[in-house]
Structure 1
Amino acid sequence: MASASLTLTPPTHLARWRVQLSTLLYRRSTLTLFLLLAPPLLWFGVIYLGSLLALLAQAFYTFDDFTMAVSPELTLDNFRAIADPSNPLFGANIDIVLRTLGMASAVTLASALLAFPIAYYMARYVHGRWKGVWYIAVMLPMWASYIVKAYSWTVILAKGGIVYWLIGALGLNGVLEAILALPVIGGSSLSTSNLGRFLVFTYIWLPFMILPTQAALERVPPSLLQASSDLGATPAQTFRTVLLPLAFPGVVAGSIFTFSLTLGDYIIPTLVGPSGYFIGNMVYTMQGSIGNIPMAAAFTVVPIVIITVYLALAKRLGAFDAL
């Protein structure tokens, strides 16, 4: 029987280079991680942070009200108009900041109160294919166009819309008129009041609160709730001392979305509610209509500072671990 001979072909230069490179990357995991993250980090640093820093740098530029021109002469007047009480524009600007901050806080609180029971039901009582149905039901409004939803709510809340029809059918017209007469509500109808603006904000951002809260509740072991009941705790005590502390980081994680998105939005304040400015449409107006880019850039610093403080607080409450 003839013996078969096996001939080994020497590796090519390209094959040897591939082997050496793969060996190097295998032995040096830090280098591999750097090469993987370098392109997205470079994009993030140059495109996102670079453009943001370029905008913030213009906050120190000078805007000539007479010629409507921006000059690179450095000044702090734009920040004084926001932070210096002695500046004539301080009152109007701080009113915009407080109005936006109040709405963002109210929307976040309302979203948390509405989202928690929905998230709890999804985490504890929905199983199998029905859980997928509930996920779709929660996320379905997010699949529709943001502009379409905002415009739809202007029709829903207008006089003659479905909300007014329902209120009339329930005989609550007097209650609605009394609510609209409150100074904090401010408006002749729901579509031109702060209440209507609040309803639209809460509707649009509610899914961003439900999903993190539901994920946090999923991680709470049912045995803890059973043990609390076995030790004699009432349902209210179990909720207050066991369930809420463990799920609270998820609520805070959801609040990051609802708070920050409300803080920077400019479309809903433009379409729904009274004519008072929010930070978002103030920046848009200053930059687009007036051309006062330095003042728009200075106003941009305000939500950045607020969100930075909010994120630091959220981190201390464990929100990042719940995302």
Structure 2
Amino acid sequence: MNPSVTASPAVLQRKPGLLARFSDLLWRRPTVLLAVLLAPPVLWLGVIYLGSLFALLAQSFFAIDEFTGLVQYEWTLKTYGELLRPVNLDIITRTVTMAACVTVFAAIVAFPIAYFAARYARGRWKAVFYLGVMLPLWSSYLVKVYAWKLILAKEGILTWGFSKIGLMPLLELILAIPVIGGNSLSVSYIGTFLVFLYVWLPFMILPMQAALERVPVSLLEASADQGANPSETLRHVLLPLALPGVVAGSIFTFSLTLGDYIIPQIVGSSRLFIGQAVYAHQGTAGNIPLAAAFTVVPVVIMGFYLWGAKRMGAFDAL
């Protein structure tokens, strides 16, 4: 008898590939997965953004040779000394003053709008509010600025409206104010201010509305029950609780106004702002160290502003 021999085939286990082993590693060690996910944005922030800022800061410590016009790659504070010249100090003062005025008036205009949206807008009206605030942000930045230039021009609709309602002498009186006036609104600091206020206003409204929505209605009612009138409730209850939203909105409006160079280039007088000075020195004059020094100014100003806001406790409720 020939016994039948049955041989079971050997089960060969294939080694997992590199991708499978890497997937197992990520599953076993969540910290590695977190590092892989965070690596691209951290590299972008650290190398591209912070690296460019440090390179810009380094450029500001160089200087231009007055005879050859070439950059001297030697460490010096000469370029920062040039910022103290009257013409450059005038540029810095003008820009900071405009940014502060835009921020203050944006907060004044945005507060009632944000308060109404937070307290009274519900359902469909809430959607209308968000649409009305966000809609200007969806249009082209340059289109908005050029549209305002046409509106503010001497032949624009705003001048036509003033003349129709008999307020043309008032407009002429405003335009006759020294420094901020001009031949028309489109070539005056008043026009520049109005365009800045319009363009950056949504960045003030939204943070304030979010902060006001977090204020409990019971606190306002308790303030009224204690005998406080509406103005006292506003000063002592509502504004302190809404301060984080005001600070967040002011950071956007103040910093964006400091660095903008397109609006003053299109609407306003021929006097430069910081953004225009950076563009002129880097693109036209070729004075990159002075352009870099001008760029450092808004960074330093915002650093002191954030430090002061933190000292006042404005970030505690964010």
Letter in 1 for 2:27: S
Residues 26 and 33 of structure 2 are in contact (CA less than 8 Å); yes or no, is this contact kept in structure 1? no
Give the distance between the partners of 1:21 and 1:199, measured in 2 at CA: 54
> Which consecutive residues of structure 1, in runs of 5 or more, have no partner in the other structure?
1-7, 84-89
Number of equivalences: 306
The aligned residue for residue 60 of structure 1 is 61
How far 1:60 moved relative to its partner? 1.9
The aligned residue for residue 230 of structure 1 is 225
- 2:305 pairs with 1:306: no
Of 81, 88, 94 in structure 2, the residue corresponding to residue 93 of structure 1 is 88
Of 244, 268, 280 in structure 2, the residue corresponding to residue 273 of structure 1 is 268
Deviations 1:33-59 (A, max 9, x none): 333222211111111111221122111
| 233-242 or 138-147, larger mean C-alpha shift | 233-242
Give the distance between the partners of 1:310 and 1:131, measured in 2 at CA: 33
Give the distance between the partners of 1:66 and 1:200, measured in 2 at CA: 41
Alignment of 1:160-179 (within 5 A): 160-179=155-174
Residues 252 and 319 of structure 1 are in contact (CA less than 8 Å); yes or no, is this contact kept in structure 2? yes
Letter in 2 for 1:168: S
Larger radius of gyration: 2
Residues 157 and 163 of structure 1 are in contact (CA less than 8 Å); yes or no, is this contact kept in structure 2? yes
The aligned residue for residue 6 of structure 2 is none
How far 1:186 moved relative to its partner? 3.2
How far 1:10 moved relative to its partner? 7.2
| TM-score, structure 2 as length reference | 0.90
How far 1:182 moved relative to its partner? 1.4
Q: Aligned to 1:200, what secondary structure does the other structure show?
A: helix
Question: CA, structure 1 residues 140+18, in 2 after alignment: closer, same or farther (shift >3 Å)?
Answer: closer
The aligned residue for residue 81 of structure 2 is 80
- 2:241 pairs with 1:252: no
Give the distance between the partners of 2:303 and 2:204, measured in 1 at CA: 19
CA RMSD after TM alignment: 2.0
- 2:39 pairs with 1:34: no
| 270-279 or 108-117, larger mean C-alpha shift | 270-279
Residues 63 and 294 of structure 1 are in contact (CA less than 8 Å); yes or no, is this contact kept in structure 2? yes
Question: CA, structure 1 residues 171+77, in 2 after alignment: closer, same or farther (shift >3 Å)?
Answer: same
Letter in 1 for 2:229: T
Question: CA, structure 1 residues 250+21, in 2 after alignment: closer, same or farther (shift >3 Å)?
Answer: closer
Of 259, 263, 272 in structure 2, the residue corresponding to residue 264 of structure 1 is 259
Deviations 1:221-267 (A, max 9, x none): 11111111122221111111111110121111100000000000000
Letter in 2 for 1:138: V
Residues 249 and 317 of structure 1 are in contact (CA less than 8 Å); yes or no, is this contact kept in structure 2? no
> Which consecutive residues of structure 2, in runs of 5 or more, have no partner in the other structure?
1-10
| TM-score, structure 1 as length reference | 0.89
Residues 225 and 242 of structure 1 are in contact (CA less than 8 Å); yes or no, is this contact kept in structure 2? yes
The aligned residue for residue 23 of structure 1 is 28
Question: CA, structure 1 residues 285+17, in 2 after alignment: closer, same or farther (shift >3 Å)?
Answer: closer
Letter in 2 for 1:123: A
